[in-house]
Structures are given as structure tokens and as C-alpha cells.
Chains A and B, each alone.
Chain A
Amino acid sequence: GEDVEQSLFLSVREGDSSVINCTYTDSSSTYLYWYKQEPGAGLQLLTYIFSNMDMKQDQRLTVLLNKKDKHLSLRIADTQTGDSAIYFCAEMFSGGYNKLIFGAGTRLAVHP
């Protein structure tokens, strides 16, 4: 069945780069997403990438997609304390149903 996996915790120093990794199983997914959830808040779409792309850059965010290995990563450059949050990787289920399949989320802690 479909599954998305990501590591649960990441701790980085302020100013360093953060890299959050994700693996997925549905090779037919057309869209892959990164969502951010701050404490007590909803889900904010950070960025997404089409499956026919290898990389997408958006200001401090860089998404890399390796379709062969079904591996997605999110790099945050110059990480700030405001980046502390839970980051969810998600794929759009290729079978329809308007279903996003989420990983369990990676909690990013940024320390001085």
C-alpha cells in the first residue's frame, strides 16, 4: 500500500542548513508536498514539486526529488528559530480520492 516515511526529529543550530528527508512508495504520484505545522496552528503549504522535476528552489527552501529512489528532501538554508515546527512530507495518491498521504512529521528544533 501507499506509505510515506520520515525521521521524527531534527535539531540544528541557528544559521545552519536543515535537511529533512522523506521516502514514499507510490511511484505514480504526480505531486509531492511539504507542509509546515507550527504549535497550535493548521497546516501551511511550504512548497510542492511535480514528479517530472528534480529540484525546485524557493527563497531559502530547496526541494530535491529522486524518483528512482522515491526520495524527497527539503533543505532550509540559514535556519532561524521561526523555522521550529513540524514538517510533513505528503504525496498525492495517484488513485484519486483527493487523498494526500502524509508522513508522521519531522519535528525541527532550532537552537542558538
Chain B
Amino acid sequence: EAQVTQNPRYLITVTGKKLTVTCSQNMNHEYMSWYRQDPGLGLRQIYYSMNVEVTDKGDVPEGYKVSRKEKRNFPLILESPSPNQTSLYFCASSYRSNTEAFFGQGTRLTVV
């Protein structure tokens, strides 16, 4: 089954404790993105990747890092999480930049 898998689905952590949210897709897609969803704001792009070892900032990249060492994986790294990063995070992948994006189930992160 074609899918985008994120882990964990839920995470509560403390300020400053490094964490990684994993994202994996099995569709051999080139493009992958991370979004965060906040009430009243919809989803905003954090980072995107056009292929292995090619990543770039989206609209709200501050406080986040990503890597793309393999085509299927695109982890989101929070080196020093802060409470304003409490949000619902979605990973997405697509075959090309302007084709249908497939979304993961989301990761609800709470930073206390």
C-alpha cells in the first residue's frame, strides 16, 4: 500500500531536549516536505527536499533541521525544542513538485 509513515504519532517532551520525527514514503517520490498545522493558520511549510541531499527552507524553518540521506526518508529534527513548537506536524511526498501530495497521519508534538 502506497503511504507516508510518520513516527511517533504523539510526543510530549521538555524544552531543550533534542528530538527527531521520522518520515518514510514507499512510492519512490522525489519531493518531500514538512508542514506544521496550527489553529487558524492552516498548514505552513517548514522544509522541503527535491531529492537526496537537496533540501531547502520553507516558510517557517526556524528551530528545525532536516536531512535527506535516502530517497525514502526525510526526518525532521528539533535540536532544542521550545513551547512555541507545540503543533501538529505533517510530512508529505509527491512525484514531482506540482503533482498530488500524499500526507502522513501527522505527529502531535507538545513541548512543555
Q: Interface residues, chain A, CB within 8 Å of chain B? A: 4, 8, 30-31, 33, 35, 41-45, 48, 88, 90, 92, 96-100, 102-105
Contact = CB atoms under 8 A, between A and B. Distances in A.
Interface in B9-34: 31-33
Nearest to A1: B59
Given A31-B98, A42-B90, A97 B45 contact: yes
A100 B50 CA distance: 14
Q: Helix, strand, loop or mixed for chain A's interface?
A: strand
Interface string B46-86: 00101000001011000000000000000000000000000
Contacts, number: 61
Interface residues of B, number: 27
B45 A30 contact: no
Contacts of A4: 42
A10 B101 CA distance: 26
B42 A92 contact: no
